[in-house]
Amino acid sequence: MARAWQLTSRPQGMPTTDNAALAEVALPELGEGMVHVRNRWLSVDPYMRGRMNDVKSYVPPFQIGQPMEGGAVGEVVESRDPGFSPGDTVMHMAGWRDEAIVPAASLNKLPSMPGVEPQAFLGNLGLTGGTAYFGLLEAAEAKAGDIVFVSAAAGAVGSAVVQIAKAKGMTVIGSAGGADKCEFVKSLGADEVIDYKAGPVIKSLLAAAPKGIDVYFDNVGGDHLDAALAVARKDARFAMCGMIDGYNSGEPTSLRYFMRIIAMRIRLQGFIYTDYLGSLGDFYRDMGAMMAAGQLKSRDTVVEGLDQTLDAFLGLFTGANTGKMLVRL
């Protein structure tokens, strides 16, 4: 028997330990073209909150009584596909469980890169790093010389944004909650750091960016987005990546400075990592070079054991992670 986290009820607002349970599930027979994988690393990400709702979005909702899904890195145990052999390290979306039978077509065999641990493909070389890279450089069209503001800068995506922006010659202001996280963001090379728990974001941002900002990488929405609107310079570009503030509240987004979008010709651009899969080759090359040059550190928050996966996920909404949150099995 395998063990898998199943959605047991749909959360109203903030998800709780009542919304999912670890269950024993029988693995199906290993059919032709299928691969049996034992997971080593599971990814938990804020976007999964959206999949807990029963609404159509860019990814389909989780189904009640079914295992949840998410990025995972594992090892092939048995294969009925010629492309995979026992011992191969693979990345796939059958996370939230210890073992799974998955179609070969949905597996990516991970290349062996010197100095790169396999779990990096759940982080800087995966969804989080790719989200940072494409959001900053494509959606927001950030370029050398820009003043860039990043919220949740100690988080998985945010910490990559800070470092990519610095590597590309931008000025970076990061926001994080608490002295420890702020120090971490500073250690990544941010020019200025805002502690959003220490006072109103708008006041801190005005002090940190007296000339205004050209780019905002939005991971949280809410007060941070409003502050960014308030200090945006003419032709500012906002990459709209996530609004963790709004995922659980169910309240409308309320923005005092929204009308500046017109006067300052601001552009807000929503985007999703998967829009840029066609450019993954460039991404691996460019990110790989930054990683090899030591320009892209990552600090993972690692939780041990499948049992802890739900807690790790819930911790994303209370700031329990610095950098990428991972579960090691």
- Does residue 30 bind a second copy (CB under 8 A)? no
The count of residues interacting with a second copy (CB under 8 A) is 31
- Does residue 222 bind a second copy (CB under 8 A)? no
Which pair of structure tokens corresponds to residue 1?
């028997």
Toward a second copy, which CB reaches closer, 144 or 263?
Answer: 263
What track of x and - describes contact with a second copy for positions 90 through 129 (by CB under 8 A)? ----------------------------------------
What track of x and - describes contact with a second copy for positions 225 through 244 (by CB under 8 A)? -x-------------xxxx-
What track of x and - describes contact with a second copy for positions 45 through 64 (by CB under 8 A)? -----x------xx------
Name which position in 125, 221, 231, 313 contacts a second copy (CB under 8 A): 221
- Does residue 268 bind a second copy (CB under 8 A)? yes
Query: What is the C-alpha separation between 7 and 98, in angstroms, rounded?
Result: 16
Name which position in 110, 255, 280, 302 contacts a second copy (CB under 8 A): 255
Toward a second copy, which CB reaches closer, 57 or 187?
Answer: 57
The dihedral formed by the CA atoms of 44, 45, 51 and 57, expressed in degrees to the nearest 10 = -150
Note whether 158 and 172 are within 8 A (CB): no
Which pair of structure tokens corresponds to residue 73?
């890195």
* Long-range pairs, 293-297, Cβ under 8 A, ≥24: 293/167, 295/163, 295/166, 295/167, 296/124, 296/129, 296/160, 296/163, 296/164, 296/167, 297/163, 297/188
- Does residue 248 bind a second copy (CB under 8 A)? no
Give the range of 23-31, 256-264, 279-287, 311-319 binding a second copy by CB under 8 A: 256-264
Give the range of 144-152, 187-195, 252-260, 296-304 binding a second copy by CB under 8 A: 252-260
- CA 164-135-297 angle, 5° bins: 25
Supply the minimum distance, in Å, between the C-beta of residue 267 and a second copy: 5
Category of 152 on φ-ψ map: left (φ > 0), alpha (ψ -120 to 50) or beta: left
Residue that has been written with the tokens 């909150």 in this structure: 49
CB contact set of 56 (below 8 Å; sequence gap of 6+) = none
Binding site for a second copy (CB under 8 A): 50, 57-58, 221, 226, 240-243, 246, 252-256, 258-272, 275
